[in-house]
Amino acid sequence: MAEIQIRNTGEVIHGEEEVRSFLASQDVLYEHWDTSKLPERLQGVCHLTDGDKEEVLATFDEDIRSLAERRGYQKWDVISLNNDTPDLDKLLKKFEQVHTHTEDEVRAITAGSGTFVIKGAETGYFDVNLTPGDVISVPVNIPHFFTLSEERQVVAVRLFIDPEGWVAHPFADPEFEGSK
């Protein structure tokens, strides 16, 4: 279950209702998938073969298609990051830059964990700490970035409207520098 921390105030928001209603107020989609549907050998596992990734997609096929139908996603895939990912530190450094996209960024965490840092309209930057089953979508043109948590591993399903056009536009923001 996701938990939120507002950087300026240190306020922590947890509990399903509270998290849902805060994210709804920020126009951030938040849903939950049942990760107990995964075969036992894949639960909590972030080192995946290509075959395992196909199995993750097959497990959540109904959830994926429901989301795609409602929100216009055309393509989806699975990514995994872990300590064996080449240049993980370099990759994280690249990730940890505030940016925007011209389509929304949707991620469903199926194992491991991670954090989206998002710029709220009135709250300033807030962290959304995600655990397995959490599904989130950062709206179009909202400054954000994604990073791993301390366990440094995650598996996520990504859905795209147009994978070709999904480009990160850097967003230099003095307000973010102040929120670190």
- Smaller CB separation from Fe ion, 52 or 139: 139
Stretch in the footprint of Fe ion (CB under 5 A) among 27-35, 40-48, 80-88, 104-112: 104-112
Smallest separation (angstroms) from Fe ion to the CB of 20: 22
101 appears as a binding residue in the annotation: yes
Stretch in the footprint of Fe ion (CB under 5 A) among 11-19, 51-59, 98-106, 154-162: 98-106
> Please, which residues have CB within 8 angstroms of residue 171's CB and are 6 or more apart in sequence?
98, 99, 100, 143
Which residue in the set 105, 133, 137, 154 belongs to the binding site for Fe ion (CB under 5 A)? 105
| 3-class SS of residue 69 | helix
Q: How many amino acids of this chain bind Fe ion (CB under 5 A)?
A: 1
Smallest separation (angstroms) from Fe ion to the CB of 156: 12
d(CA 128, CA 116): 5
Three-state secondary structure string covering 14-50: CCHHHHHHHHHHCCCEEEECCHHHCCHHHCCCCCCCH
Q: Which residue, 2, 31, 39, 5, is CA-closest to 127?
A: 5
- Smaller CB separation from Fe ion, 12 or 167: 167
d(CA 114, CA 128): 8
- Smaller CB separation from Fe ion, 45 or 142: 142
Smallest separation (angstroms) from Fe ion to the CB of 30: 16
- Smaller CB separation from Fe ion, 22 or 116: 116
Amino acid of residue 15: G
99 appears as a binding residue in the annotation: yes
- Smaller CB separation from Fe ion, 105 or 127: 105
| 3-class SS of residue 83 | coil
Residues that bind Fe ion (CB under 5 A): 105
Annotated binding site: 99, 101, 105, 144
